[in-house]
Amino acid sequence: MIIDRLVNEVNKKGNVCVGLDTHLGLIPDRIKKEYQELDEVLFQFNKEIIDKTADLVPVFKLQIAFYEGYGLKGLLGYKRTLEYLRSLGVITIGDVKRGDISSTAEMYAKAHFEGEFEVDFITLNPYLGFDTLTPYLKYIESGEKGVFVLLRTSNPGAKDIQYLKVSQKDEYLYYVVGDRLQELASKYKGSCGYSPIGAVVGGTHVEEAKEIRNRYKDIFFLIPGYGHQGATGKDVSLYLNDGNGGIVNSSRGIIASYKKYEDGNEKFGDYARKAVLDMKEDIESERRV
């Protein structure tokens, strides 16, 4: 089951998820000069990052918007990157945040769980209703695919909707969503005890961290917000279960870390590796406290 693979990889390699939010402003000039085609530029930059970090991390996440924004050539770069990761046997997340119903959702599922954009996990937005998740369940039932459903996100605007008080218990909306999600997730569990139906829980809001982790013990978390958005290793560690139960994403903090160094343009892959090692130490040090 894909969630068992992910949990095993986290046990071996730690919690860092490398976010390949790749756009031209992050790519060194030497790569843009060396390769002429846009898809080749995107792919070669990604390949260097992957080659330097794949032995250190359990999973890579690609935010599709950074590729869609460049049109067909951008999506070709997305496709080629996924193919390369697949050839290495690396677990992938397509950060696509789909949230639609019926036949439309069926086609989204087909697009990202089959064919040229195939990944192991995708992100979904449930705030249109839980029927938006139904078309993905047949892939989850196969054991080969999983999803991370937006629960409580890391952006400041999360409080506009997700923190609305609802229900007879006067609880935040995201708890209502989380309870429904847990009910669904409990129907699909791997031998690891977690479900391939996971949740996106932003690491920047730490006040409710322990309650969220304790309330949803069997749900595996994708945790954004580390680094550039302000979350620290101490913050995100609150969302883990004995060092597992979640992956912590960092994008710019890793792939653009080379910009802090004079020789960064030539050694951007090496500095991405250093950023991953520093991040791993920051997270794992909290377990030793």
Residue type at position 234: K
Those residues whose C-beta lies under 8 Å from the C-beta of residue 74, and which sit 6 or more positions away, are: 38, 39, 42, 66, 67, 68
Residues annotated as catalytic (active site), given as ranges: 97
For residue 112, the model assigns a pLDDT of: 98
Structure tokens at 143: 């054991």
Classify 161 in phi/psi space as left (phi over 0), alpha (psi -120 to 50) or beta: alpha
Whole-number Å distance between alpha carbons of 114 and 118: 5
For residue 276, the model assigns a pLDDT of: 97
Residue type at position 215: R
For residue 287, the model assigns a pLDDT of: 67
For residue 68, the model assigns a pLDDT of: 97
* Parallel/antiparallel/unpaired status of strands 59-63 and 16-19: parallel
Other C-beta atoms within 10 Å of 221: how many? 26
* Residue keyed to tokens 């892959």: 269
* Parallel/antiparallel/unpaired status of strands 165-166 and 146-152: unpaired
**Count of domains for the chain:** 1
Whole-number Å distance between alpha carbons of 44 and 37: 11
What is the residue range of 224's domain? 2-285
* CATH code of the domain in which 236 resides: 3.20.20.70
pLDDT beneath 50: ranges in the chain: none
For residue 288, the model assigns a pLDDT of: 56
Structure tokens at 37: 């085609």
